[in-house]
């Protein structure tokens, strides 16, 4: 399922990152790679804030849909 649909405060393991090569590269630079653990800490208007390895990262709806957990 896309990360966008995951529950708040639930740890999720990234299974796949989709999108164009440019989007994949951008997400990889942020640490979104297969096997990484990510937790949603806030959702608002479709945008989300996640915690990954102790760092908070804001993602747009479009980017959150590209991350499969």
Residue owning tokens 């639930």: 10
Does the pTM of the predicted model rise above 0.85? yes
Question: 55 — alpha (psi -120 to 50), left (phi > 0) or beta?
Answer: beta
Residue 26, pLDDT above cutoff 90: yes
Q: Give, for 50, the enclosing helix (H) or strand (E).
A: strand 47-52
Each domain of the chain, given as residue ranges in start order, spans: 3-68
One of 3.50.50.60, 2.30.30.90, 2.40.50.140, 3.40.50.300 is the CATH number of 3-68, namely 2.30.30.90
The helix, strand and coil proportions of the chain, stated in percent and rounded to the nearest 5, come to 30, 40, 30
Going 27 to 29 to 35 to 38, the CA torsion angle's sign is negative
Write out pLDDT tens, residues 36-69.
Answer: 999 999 999 889 999 999 999 999 999 999 999 9
- The pLDDT, as a whole number, for residue 61 is 93
């Amino acid at each position: 399922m896309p990360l966008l649909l995951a529950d708040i405060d639930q740890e999720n393991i990234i299974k796949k990152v989709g999108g164009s090569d440019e989007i994949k590269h951008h997400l990889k630079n942020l640490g979104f790679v297969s096997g990484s653990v990510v937790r949603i800490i806030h959702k608002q208007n479709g945008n989300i804030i996640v915690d990954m390895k102790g760092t908070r990262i804001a993602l747009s709806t479009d980017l959150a849909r590209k991350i499969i957990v």
